[in-house]
Amino acid sequence: MKKTIHSSYLSIVFFMAVLSLNAQNTLNQKGSEKAPPPGKHKIMLIPFEPRLYMSEVDYAINKETKLTGKQIKAIFRDGINEQLYKSLKLQHLVIDMMDDTVKTKKDLGEIYQHLVLEYMKVPDQKNYKPPVKEKQEQIIKNGQVVDETNTDARFMNAKIKNATLVPYLYAKYKCDIFVFINELDIKSSASSSNGDPLATTDGFRKLVVHYTVYTYDAKEINSGIAETQFPVAINDPKKIVNSYFSKLAQIITERINLALTPPKAR
């Protein structure tokens, strides 16, 4: 009888050990809260707010796939983070705030609440400097004071207005780099005169991602837009994500890696 009890006890101990190991492995998967090893970086991916999805092609996608606008937006919102995760994880630890939205919903709300989003001049990636808000120049035209029109390309940039936000995220998630996806644009290359949203002139559409990258001490180390084109005939959101969002992710990843490389090592 004692042997049977002892055997049962060992079985229970073994079972609990397996559960503990599985729990630890789960914690160390995508979305992990472990700290990066010395000399390495841990990157947090923050998705764009749903209201900052700007698409001119949802009608064409819906016509072919029957997906609703909400479903299309969800696939693309998750898709850009997924491709960035795949690209960045080759060199860094990465946590994707889209991976478990139930767990991260409160923190995402806090992040969005403490961001100031505004269009700014697209920075020169060959000589990167964080963009600054420009003064609106005024001129005299026909005897009236008017604002001067600036035709420089603009992107949606994220500025942190709460000094405690990044330290809070750093303490909770052990991340030292924060990638904010600020806006996603999907543009048809042109519109026909009759307003047909399916029509284009060159057979290609354009994908544009607006983003900002901060360090744990709230220093902006890169920002701007990443762009690529895809054929007008492709209306499968998953194919667009896998074949073309991956190109956007690679562009952003290369810029992040360059920004994290000490100047002497470049």
In three-state form (DSSP H/G/I as H, E/B as E, the rest C), the secondary structure along the chain is: CHHHHHHHHHHHHHHHHHHHHHHHHHHCCCCCCCCCCCCCCEEEEECCCHHHEEECCHHHHHHHHCCCHHHHHHHHHHHHHHHHHHHHCCCCEEEECCCCHHHHHHHHHHHHHCEEEEEEECCCHHHCCCCCCCCCCEEEECCEEEECCCCCCEEEEEEECCCCHHHHHHHHHCCCEEEEEEEEEEEECCCCCCCCCCCCCCCEEEEEEEEEEEECCCCEEEEEEEEEEEECCCCCHHHHHHHHHHHHHHHHHHHHHHHHCCHHHC
- Average pLDDT (53-72) is 97
Residue 40 pLDDT: 86
Find which of 27-31, 154-158, 193-197 is predicted with most confidence, using mean pLDDT.
154-158
For residue 47, the Cα-to-chain-centroid distance in whole angstroms is: 5
pLDDT at 262: 76
Q: Which two tokens stand for residue 220?
A: 């902006």
Q: Is the pLDDT of residue 142 over 80?
A: no
pTM of the shown model: 0.79
Strand pairing report for 42-46 and 93-96:
parallel
- Per mean pLDDT, which range of 38-42, 62-66, 76-80 is the poorest? 38-42
In whole angstroms, give the CA distance from residue 204 to residue 188: 7
- pLDDT value of position 100: 81
Mean pLDDT on 187-197: 55
Q: How confident is the model at residue 52 (pLDDT cuts 50, 70, 90)?
A: very high
Mean pLDDT of the chain: 83
Across 233-260, average pLDDT: 97
| pLDDT for 137 | 54
18 vs 54 pLDDT, higher one:
54
Q: How far is 232 from 222, CA to CA, in rounded Å?
A: 31
Lowest mean pLDDT among 28-32, 64-68, 81-85, 110-114: 28-32
CATH of domain 38-265: 3.40.50.10610
**Contact between 48 and 79 (Cβ < 8 Å):** no
Q: How many CB atoms lie within 10 A of CB 200?
A: 20
211 or 29: whose pLDDT is higher?
211
**Residue 73 vs residue 19, higher pLDDT:** 73
pLDDT of residue 163: 87
Over 70: is that where the pLDDT of 152 sits? yes
d(CA 31, CA 82): 12
